[in-house]
Structure 1
Amino acid sequence: MNIFIVDDEHKSRELIKLVLKSILPDSCICGEAGSVPEAVKGIQEAEPDLLLLDVELETGTGFDVLARLKDISFPVIFITAHSHYAIQAIKFSAVDYLLKPLDPGDLADALDRVREMQQDAGYKKKLDNLLQNINPASAGQQKIALPTSDGLIFAPLKDIIYCKAEGAYTTFYMENEKILVSRNLKEYELMLETQGFFRVHNSYLVNLSKIKRYVKGDGGYLILANGTTIDVSKRRKESFLAVISRM
C-alpha cells in the first residue's frame, strides 16, 4: 500500500511513519508534505493508495488540500488534535479520522476500515459532502450521512423534524420520509446538539426550528411542524426551556 502523509510538523510525520512501519511493514511512504501547495503537487504526482491528512496546517487546512485536487480516487484518514468543528464535519460525512497523539491500535483499526473503503462506491460522495459542509457558503445547507441497510442517505439537517430511539437504531423523521439508521440516538444527540437539536426525552431528539408550540404540563409536550406531539420529560424540562428562551 502506497501512503502519502500530510502534516505540518516534521516530528509528527516521523512518528506516523514509525507507527506505520510497526503495524504495516509492507507499506510504502510514497510522499509527504507540510503545506497545502506542497501536498497538492505531491499527491497528484504520487497517486497514493491512501492519504493520511492532518486537518490543521500552517498554510490552511486539510480540507483545502482536498478541494484543490481534481480527482480523489483513494481513501482519506483525517488526523486532528483538537478541532471540534472539524470532527463534527467529518462525522457528519461518515469518513474516518484519528485523534492526536496517534494511537497505534486506532491506526490499525482505521487501516482495516480503509480496505472496506476501497470497495465503497459512495466514498467520493462522502468526501464531496464533507467539503460542502465545511464551506462557509453552505451555511444552513449542511447534510448528514445516514447509514441504512442498503447504503447511505445524505439528509439535509434543515429537513429533519425529529429523531426517535428504536433500541440500537434511530428513526429520522423528515419532511417527506422517515429513515431507519443502524446507530443509537445518543450518537446523534452528540453530533447534532450544536446544530439546533435538543433531546427532550429519552426517546426523542427534536429539531428546535420545527417546534410550532410548547404546551405546559408536568413536563409538557411539543407540537411539531408535521403535527406530531412529543412529550418533554420532567427532568429535561428546565434545560429545554432555558434553550428555547435563548432562541
Structure 2
Amino acid sequence: MALRTIIIEDEENSLQVICSLLAEFAPDFELCGTADSVDKSVQLIETIQPQVVFTDVQIADGTGFDVLRKLSSRNFELVCLTAHNSYAVEAVRFSAIDYLLKPIGIPEFEAAVTHIRERINAKRKHEHIDLLLHNLAQFNTQDKKISIATVNGYEFVDIKDIIWCGAESSYTIFHLANNTQIISSRNLGYYESLLCSNNFCRIHHTSIINMRFIKSYIKGKSGYVVMSNGSRLEVSQRRKNDFLNMI
C-alpha cells in the first residue's frame, strides 16, 4: 500500500536528500508534493490529505508548527526535521513524534519510517500532534504532557502528576498522583533524558523522582526519600550530590 507523503522544506539540498532517502529506503512512501512556505504547506496538505508529512522545523516564513496550527484536521503521521537540538526537539520527544537531525543518517531515517509504518498499521489515533502543540505552548512550565509508550499504545500524562517512576527489568512503572500506575514498554533511561530537565532527579539506577512530591529526606550513608504517596526510595551514593544540589 502506497503511503501518500509530502515534504515541507525550503532548503533545496535537504529536500533532495529526503527525496533520495525515500526512493531508496521507503519506496512505499509515495511523494505527492513538496512545499516551502506556511501557506503553501497548508494548501498542499488540505488538497492531498497525506498520510505522512515530513516538515522542517524552520522554513522561510515561519515554522512547521505554524503549519500544524493552521490546519483544521491533522490526520497524518509527522516527522520533524531540524539542524538544531533545540527546545523544539524536547517538545517533539515529549510527544513521541519522530524527528531527524540534519545531516540525516540512514539508520535514523529507517527507524523513523519503520515507526510510521507500525503506527499506520495499528490504526492509532493522531493525538501526538495535538500533544506536540500543547507542549510547545507550555515550554518552560510543568504543564507539559508526556507520551508514555505501553504495550497497547500510548498514555498521555501531565508531567506534574508523576510522583516517581521506577525500573522493572526493561520496563518503567509510573506512579501517579491519583494513586494509579502506568507500565511503560520503554526503559527508565529513555525517560531520564526527558524528565530530568523538568525538576525530576534520578536518585538511583532504579528510580527517578519528581522533586515536587518529596515529603522528607532521611540522611544516612546514602539516605532515602519519602514521597508524598508513602514510597521510600534509596538515594544511591553516586547520585547523592546531584540530588542534594536540587533540594
Q: TM-score, normalised by structure 1?
A: 0.90
Q: Distance in 2 between matches of 1:114 and 1:183?
A: 18
Among 165, 168, 171, the residue aligned to 2:167: 165
**Alpha carbons of 1:16 and 1:135: their partners in 2 closer, same or farther (altered >3 Å)?**
same
Amino acid at match of 1:37: D
Q: Distance in 2 between matches of 1:123 and 1:104?
A: 27
Q: CA deviation at 1:8?
A: 2.3
Maintained 8 Å contact 2:85/2:101: no
**Alpha carbons of 1:21 and 1:151: their partners in 2 closer, same or farther (altered >3 Å)?**
closer
1:107 is matched with: 109
1:36 is matched with: 38
Q: TM-score, normalised by structure 2?
A: 0.90
Q: Does 1:231 align with 2:234?
A: yes
2:224 is matched with: 221
Q: Distance in 1 between matches of 2:139 and 2:225?
A: 32
Q: CA deviation at 1:136?
A: 3.7
Q: Does 1:118 align with 2:120?
A: yes
Q: Does 1:189 align with 2:195?
A: no
1:152 is matched with: 154
Q: CA deviation at 1:182?
A: 1.0
Among 2, 6, 9, the residue aligned to 1:7: 9
Amino acid at match of 2:221: D
Q: Secondary structure at the match of 1:66?
A: helix
Maintained 8 Å contact 1:31/1:43: no
Identity rate, percent: 39
1:174 is matched with: 176
1:206 is matched with: 209
Structure 1: 5+ residue runs without aligned partners?
Answer: none
Which one is further off, 44-53 or 168-177? 44-53
Which one is further off, 139-148 or 129-138? 129-138
Q: Which runs of 4+ in 1 moved over 3 A?
A: 24-28, 119-123, 136-139
Q: Deviations over 1:56-80 (max 9, x none)?
A: 2232221211111111222111112
Please show how residues 42-53 of structure 1 align to structure 2 within 5 Å: 42-53=44-55
Maintained 8 Å contact 2:77/2:116: yes
Q: Secondary structure at the match of 2:65?
A: helix
Instruction: Give the number of aligned pairs.
Output: 244
Among 122, 130, 133, the residue aligned to 1:131: 133
